[in-house]
Amino acid sequence: MRQLKPLRALSKRAGSVMVSLYMFQQIRRLKAEGKGCAAIARVLGINEKTVAKYLRSNTQPKYKPRAVSTRSDPFAGFEQRVSQWLTRTPTLQEMEVYELLIAEGYTGSERTLNRRLKRIKKEEKKERFFDQEYEPGEQSQFDFKEKVELPFIDGMRIVQLLFGTLPFSDTCLVRGYPFKNYECFIDGVVSFFETIGGKTKNIRFDNLSPCVKKVLEGSKRLYTDDFNRASVYYDWGLLPCAPAKGSDKGDVERDIRSYAIRIKNFVSHTGVVFRDWAHLNEWLKAFMQLRQKEESKLKLKAEQAVLEKLPPREESVLCKIQIGPASSFGSIRVGSSTYSVPDSMIEKNCRTVTDPFEVRICRVGTDHGDNTVVIHPRKTDGEHSILLEHVLPSLVRKPHAMVRWAHRSLLFPAPVCTRFFDRLKKIEDYGAEREYLRSINLIHYTTLSEIIAGMELVLETESLKLFDDLKQLLLGERRPDSVIDITSRLNQSPLKPELSQYDSLIPNRKKGQSI
């Protein structure tokens, strides 16, 4: 057994030794081993009478805290100064405060300062929370978790997650959107009610700028025209939160804290990559339903029995609709963004419907016989969507317009396109634009990815008729006067490459055309 080093020398040098709780336990242990008071005192280096006293009372030692510190406080006189700094600049780091204090004459350690800073920051009064009770179908709560990065097949996207919660049954659902605007918010609310089978009497939500024009006194708000129209159509009570008061919708705030990070972690762990927004929202729905507790499911059934009937979807309520002519540039403006249309729609009256994910454009009226519907992915305000299939027919007729065209970069989606154009210019400078545009215009018969792969192969030859040989390679049409059989020369079968990343530039296709 390990022997304790005698402390008698320390006792003689420093006076009587204070009996700590540890030493009291050693006294009892040594007594249990059969040692007497004198032997215990010799081993522990304390007075024999002290040992006898604690063995007799069998009570652990108690000491009063010192009334006065035995050394000076290096932080004395600096506390008020530091509090002022933190009030003025709450983001000051501990090292920065330490450096400022050193300049003020502080002589203490950084560790002492850090300990005192924690005490200063904890002096704020803690807020009390109260459990809330709700009636079935009384209320639903909605809020965004902004800027969550998730993987899609075309790369990482910033996703706005809209959480919806029923406080009574503790049911939570999530949907992902590209933007935090009116169309996304209202679609999320309606989709939530469609999933649970009815609507609640009231909805509680933040003061989202596309919904709230101005915050007035108390719970009064000046709402946007779009949101007013939706609230009248769906006949729900509006319960806006007080500014900067997340506790007003504490249930949905709790769900955001619980699930936002879990969603991101699960996506990362499983390696799922989303095809599109529909795939993401199907996945989110399944993810949340699998994590719904049995008690919550039972309460949801009781709540569904009293939910009010939800009116059918109405495009004029859920989407932004505008009617007006397409410009002479062959485009429609939606906010600060430009969306292209075919030549047949130029300066014709068009109806544009903007939903959370798409912009749909069609001709207005029934006498024109044109039922074409142009669909663009919705862009962030200020970005543009110009489809090559819309502009190429006109550019082929006016090839030199491409030289200074504002969206010229769209014509060169890959480095090989630039090399192909440069080769055309070497062959015949004046006709290079026309030949290049004819080459890209083959998207009406094949895919842009195949055109790009074909350009790579044609450039490996010494051909002086690049367009004709590219057309032959892609469409299998042999020119009678051709002296170059590209397929045999390169020992290649007709191209079937997998370069689908370029196909996003031409989402609209005629029936029978492969993409």
Is the separation of the CB atoms in 159 and 223 below 8 Å? no
How is residue 176 written in tokens?
């992902």
> Regarding beta strands 331-334 and 337-340, do their DSSP bridges make them parallel or antiparallel, or are they unpaired?
antiparallel
Least Cα distance to 376 among 507, 248, 475 occurs for 507
How is residue 376 written in tokens?
């663009």
List b or e across 28-63, with b for residues whose CB sees 16 or more CB atoms inside 10 angstroms: eebbeeebebeebbbbbbbeeebbbebbeeeeeeee
Q: Return d(Cα 238, Cα 236) in angstroms, integer.
A: 6
| Interacting residues of 326 by C-beta distance below 8 A, sequence separation 6+ | 332, 341, 345, 346, 347, 348, 350, 361
DSSP designation for 356: S
How would you class 146 by CB atoms within 10 Å of its CB: exposed for 0-12, middle for 13-18, buried for 19 or more?
exposed
Q: Where are the domains of the chain?
A: 8-57, 79-121, 139-315, 319-377, 388-505
In whole angstroms, how far apart are CA 332 and each of 325, 327, 363, 409, 507?
Answer: 8, 6, 12, 20, 17
**In the block, which residue shows the tokens 């999933």?**
195
Per-residue pLDDT of the chain in tens (515 residues, 90 and over written 9): 445 444 444 444 334 567 788 888 888 889 888 889 999 888 888 889 888 888 888 887 777 666 666 677 888 888 888 888 888 887 778 888 888 888 888 888 888 888 888 887 765 556 666 667 788 999 999 999 999 999 999 899 999 999 999 999 999 999 999 999 999 999 999 999 999 999 999 999 888 888 898 888 877 889 999 999 999 999 999 988 877 665 677 889 999 998 999 999 999 999 999 999 999 999 999 999 999 999 999 999 999 999 999 999 999 999 999 999 999 999 999 999 999 999 989 999 999 999 999 999 999 875 656 678 999 999 998 899 999 889 988 888 888 888 888 888 999 999 999 999 999 999 998 889 999 999 999 988 888 899 999 999 999 988 899 999 999 998 875 444 443 444 444 444 444 445 554 455 454 544 444 33
How is residue 20 written in tokens?
């700590």
Secondary structure of 213-244 as H, E, C letters: EEECCCCCEEECHHHHHHHHHHCCEEEECCCC
Q: In what order do the strands lie in the sheet with 320-325?
A: 320-325, 349-354, 358-363, 373-377
Give the pLDDT confidence score for residue 370 in this predicted structure.
Answer: 67
Between 1.10.3720.10, 3.40.309.10, 3.40.50.300, 3.30.420.10, what CATH number should domain 139-315 receive? 3.30.420.10
Give the pLDDT confidence score for residue 103 in this predicted structure.
Answer: 87
Give the pLDDT confidence score for residue 477 in this predicted structure.
Answer: 57
| Interacting residues of 179 by C-beta distance below 8 A, sequence separation 6+ | 160, 356, 378, 380
Is the separation of the CB atoms in 457 and 490 below 8 Å? yes
